[in-house]
Amino acid sequence: MRTDYSRSVRLGGLAAGVNETTLRERMEGSPVHLTADGCLPAVAETLEVLVADLRRWPVPLSLDPGHEPGRLDDALVRRLVETAAGIDPDRPLRIGAPPGEAPLRLHVGTEPTPDVAVAGAPDGHGARLRHAGHPFPGLNAPGTGLGAVLTAAMLAGEAFKVVAGLPEGKFQVTPVVDFCPVLPGEQPGTAVAPPPELERVLLGGGGAIGTGIALILDLLRVSGELAVVDREVFEKPNVTSYSTGTLAEAAALLPKVRLIAARLRRIAVTPFHGTVQDAIEAVDTGTLPWPRTVLGGLDSVSARHDLQRLHADLTLDGSTGGPVGTTVALHEALPTGPCLRCYYKADHTGKSAEQRLNELTGLPLARIARGQEPLTEQDLEGLDDQQRQLVRQFLGRPVCGLINSPELGGGTDDVFRPSAAFVAQQAACLVVGAWIARSTGLITGPVRRIEYDTRFGPQPDQMTDHWAPVPECACQKDAALIERVREFRRTRR
């Protein structure tokens, strides 16, 4: 069984504007070399996530354990080798000097050698990144599991710009990044509140974002109880886009909820293998506890609308998307509004089917408007290589209905959807950061929508906005009914 890089390579190809074969060859010729300070708090967690994220691309990957003091201990190095082998046994993590010349050098720690391109370190729940020539300040707090995942995901994001060869203008190098997903806008390490126990919390979706949330909860050593809802099984292409799961586990075709339950060693997980609608029915018949907080990692608008109908006190929805799949967002939603239906109907992330089809395929909106006319060779003119390759398979079919075709990620699965663990993990960090902030009272007041493109990095002063409920939304028109349903579920058990 060979590792399937299709999804991570697809995202890279979209972002770089080249076809998947070119992108794959580019990555195979782009070695990445890692070093780390073994004395840094949370260095093990950061490296485990970083090695896995980089192994989810076909790049040559090496790690130098370094010298005393700060040498990585042998047990950790063995674990990292195993982590890489679990994702792709044919591309082992090489220990020692880099194989090729001029690798991209990444460092976990605050004192990189001058040849390191980018270094990163968790600071409390946040991350600090520095490009060569920009020194780190002193850290405020020991890194947590959340800070570790964010640091690793952002370092992988910096590597992505180089190994995918993003063209000028399609990304930004920010030499200094300081970001905390618990208190965006504050310095990392300011928020050090330990996460509370999970109580009446439900995770909706065990995919790219859901496994990212599970990874963070595990590395944060959170305890308590968590219901996990997902209807799918873990398959081979998921290995290179999810945050947990090995090639061997994909061969076993485990339900995703089982995979997550196995990962969360300190949490009593109730795996619910079914749809969100099934979970709502289970809540109303009393077989599943009514969650008061919902963490969402779903990828369709309709599933999000279902999630909202759990009518929890607070829903924290994570998403990835944007023109090439590199944009991450958090939507905080309330049963009284703004709810997920407010966000995902009227806003510009909840785009029309025509707009989404235009973004996915490059077909002009004017052409999409002539929905009944079958696609012809002529329609391929004006598309780039990647888009042509995608659209060619639909020749002879009418344009309307394409958006729901499985090849484009409509319908039930996410076959087309470009996906990369380092992107989904940043969305997951926003969700878990908001959960910590809201459940410990660090953040009160109106709900927020936070959004940034990982190619450009978080922009603390311009990525947050507040939404008013949409007057014609069900959360406003059916407010009395929703409150009655909540009252019924509150007293149910």
Enumerate binding residues for Zn ion (CB under 5 A). Answer: 337, 339, 341-342, 473, 475
Angle CA 217–220–225, to nearest 5: 45
Rounded to the nearest 5°, which phi and psi values hold at 120?
-145, 155
Question: Is 351 or 388 the residue whose CB approaches Zn ion more closely?
Answer: 351
Structure tokens at 480: 């009395």
Q: How many CB atoms lie within 10 A of CB 184?
A: 23
Question: Is 227 or 342 the residue whose CB approaches Zn ion more closely?
Answer: 342
Closest by CA to 261, choosing from 209, 211, 304, 219, is 211
Question: Is 44 or 334 the residue whose CB approaches Zn ion more closely?
Answer: 334
What is the smallest separation between the CB atom of 435 and Zn ion, expressed in angstroms? 21
Length, in residues, of the chain: 493
What is the smallest separation between the CB atom of 291 and Zn ion, expressed in angstroms? 19
Question: Is 83 or 319 the residue whose CB approaches Zn ion more closely?
Answer: 319
What is the smallest separation between the CB atom of 446 and Zn ion, expressed in angstroms? 14
What is the smallest separation between the CB atom of 334 and Zn ion, expressed in angstroms? 9
Distance of CA 315 to the CA centre of its chain: 17
Question: Is 316 or 342 the residue whose CB approaches Zn ion more closely?
Answer: 342
Question: Is 265 or 466 the residue whose CB approaches Zn ion more closely?
Answer: 466
**Residues 440, 283: Cα–Cα separation, whole Å:** 26
- Output Rg (C-alpha) for the chain, integer angstroms: 22
CA-based max dimension of the chain: 69
Which residues neighbour 12 within 8 Å (Cβ) at sequence distance 6 or greater? 23, 27, 57, 160, 163, 164, 420
What is the smallest separation between the CB atom of 438 and Zn ion, expressed in angstroms? 19
What is the smallest separation between the CB atom of 219 and Zn ion, expressed in angstroms? 34
Is the CB of residue 425 less than 8 Å from the CB of residue 152? Answer: yes
Burial class of residue 124, CB neighbours in 10 A (0-12, 13-18, 19+): buried
What is the smallest separation between the CB atom of 481 and Zn ion, expressed in angstroms? 13
* H helix intervals, 285-384: 301-308, 340-346, 353-361, 365-369
Question: Is 158 or 332 the residue whose CB approaches Zn ion more closely?
Answer: 332
